[in-house]
């Protein structure tokens, strides 16, 4: 039985505009969507971390938009490309990962993706099943479709070369591998971020080389994390799908106010009309905290449940927003220049620098000062003022700065 495709004009226009930074070819995608043809829509993710974060939710939500219209989703786990490593958004060569690490990372991917997509209606693939079988002569022929000049003109690659940094040959081959994925799965549309532009275009090049119609492309924007930089597991500035509800809620509340509308638009499916109202309220003096709380509830509900979102909000309000640090929390006096890591190790709250860095990466250390609360994201952070540290869910350490004599 042929799958019925929804061609509702309003839904299609929102699909083509919400969270879309660039598209190729937009008119062709619109016409195809209106035709009622079922499209094969591709997204590939390299399992370089065991945790998917909200930056990944932007393309996944776009897949959901397609899925809800009745289109076929092809999700590629880059277990082969993940070993090689993509440096599209990196300013240095990415280290190769071993296969054991890759396999460990992908164990919970389907469970995490299921928080956004109907995984029972997705075609899951591992690209090692075809990339691992390519012969050298086949790779050579396909490589002839590209030029080294095109590769080195990419901003981050050109910058590295100008700085005298190494660019490995495997990095040059990465776009070819991602492009060949599109050939194998016969992709009609590929979803990705703007940092993936070169790699996604490689799919069009190789599809043409193999006699296929070149895929259309929808690219979303780069998403800022807790520190304002691109959300990245390697920087530890992420909000992860698997974060506990109260941690997820707290992380959202620690975001810069200027990210509220962006997150509502990209990482939720709150109606656009409601987002416009929120935007107007902010412009006319509404306390950003109130709208941020709405955002936090939406996100926690999406990845957990409405009940857990309510509980997380109550916990956050009672413990953090109202400043109710437990009365019996240990209190110490420290030098203003003493690093946080030294304090926590000395006081027995963390066992080692490695554990401290892991807690930071997980967003599990928060400083509550007199003016604001903030996630600790820099391993070299100093306390700087009187306040309290929350480590994990239930450990608190009150800190007072030693007064100058």
Handedness of CA 110, 112, 117, 120 (dihedral sign): positive
Residue 320 to residue 180: CA distance in whole angstroms: 50
Could you tell me how many residues make up the chain? 405
pLDDT in tens, 99-137: 788 888 888 899 999 999 999 999 999 999 999 999 999
pLDDT in tens, 52-96: 999 999 999 999 999 999 999 999 999 998 877 766 655 555 566
Write down all domains in the chain, each with its CATH number in brackets.
Answer: 9-234 (3.40.50.620), 245-321 (1.10.240.10), 330-401 (3.10.290.10)
CB-CB neighbours of 118 under 10 Å: 12
Can you give the C-alpha Rg of the chain in angstroms? 23
Handedness of CA 91, 95, 96, 100 (dihedral sign): negative
Write out the chain's pLDDT in tens, 405 residues. Answer: 456 899 999 999 999 999 999 999 899 999 999 999 999 999 999 888 889 999 999 999 999 999 999 999 999 999 998 877 766 655 555 566 777 888 888 888 999 999 999 999 999 999 999 999 999 999 999 999 998 888 787 777 888 888 888 888 878 888 999 999 999 999 999 999 998 899 999 999 999 999 999 999 999 999 999 888 889 887 778 999 999 998 899 889 888 899 999 999 999 999 999 999 999 999 999 999 999 999 999 999 999 999 999 999 998 887 665 556 766 678 888 887 888 899 999 988 888 988 898 888 888 888 877 556 778 888 888 877 888 888 887 788 888 887 665
SS3 57: helix
Report yes or no: 386 and 399 within 8 Å, Cβ to Cβ. Answer: yes
Residue 277 to residue 292: CA distance in whole angstroms: 14
Residue 125 to residue 43: CA distance in whole angstroms: 10
């Amino acid at each position: 039985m042929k799958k019925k495709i929804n061609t509702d004009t309003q839904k299609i226009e929102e699909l083509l505009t919400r969270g879309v930074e660039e598209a190729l070819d937009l008119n062709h995608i619109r016409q195809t969507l209106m035709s009622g043809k079922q499209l094969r829509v591709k997204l590939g993710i390299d399992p370089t971390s065991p945790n998917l974060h909200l930056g990944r939710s932007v393309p996944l939500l776009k897949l959901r938009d397609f899925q809800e219209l009745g289109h076929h989703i092809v999700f590629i786990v880059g277990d082969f490309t993940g070993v090689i490593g993509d440096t599209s958004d990196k300013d240095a060569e990415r280290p190769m990962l071993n296969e054991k690490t890759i396999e460990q990372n992908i164990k919970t991917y389907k469970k995490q993706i299921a928080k956004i997509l109907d995984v029972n209606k997705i075609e899951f693939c591992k690209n090692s099943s075809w990339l691992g079988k390519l012969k050298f002569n086949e790779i050579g022929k396909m490589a002839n479709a590209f030029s080294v000049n095109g590769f080195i003109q990419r901003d981050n690659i050109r910058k590295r070369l100008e700085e005298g940094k190494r660019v490995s040959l495997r990095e040059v081959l990465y776009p070819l591998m991602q492009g060949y994925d599109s050939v194998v799965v016969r992709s009609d549309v590929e979803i990705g971020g703007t940092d993936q532009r070169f790699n996604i275009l490689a799919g069009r090049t190789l599809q043409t080389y193999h006699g296929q119609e070149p895929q259309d492309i929808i690219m979303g924007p780069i998403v800022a994390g807790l520190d304002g930089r691109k959300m990245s597991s390697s920087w530890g500035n992420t909000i992860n799908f698997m974060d506990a509800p109260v941690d997820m809620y707290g992380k959202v509340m620690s975001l810069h106010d200027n990210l509220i509308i962006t997150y509502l638009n990209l990482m939720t499916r709150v109606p656009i009309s409601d987002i416009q109202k929120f935007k107007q309220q902010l412009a006319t003096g509404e306390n950003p905290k109130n709208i941020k709380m709405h955002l936090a509830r939406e996100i926690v509900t999406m990845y957990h449940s409405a009940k857990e979102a309510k509980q997380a909000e109550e916990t956050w309000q009672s413990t953090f927003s109202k400043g109710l640090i437990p009365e019996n929390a240990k209190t110490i006096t420290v030098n203003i220049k003493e690093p946080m890591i030294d304090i926590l190790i000395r006081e027995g709250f963390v066992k080692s620098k490695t554990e401290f860095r892991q807690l930071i990466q997980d967003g599990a250390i928060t400083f509550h000062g007199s003016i604001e609360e903030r996630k600790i994201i820099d391993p070299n952070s100093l306390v700087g003022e009187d306040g309290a540290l929350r480590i994990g869910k239930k450990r608190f350490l009150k800190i007072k700065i030693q007064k100058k004599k």
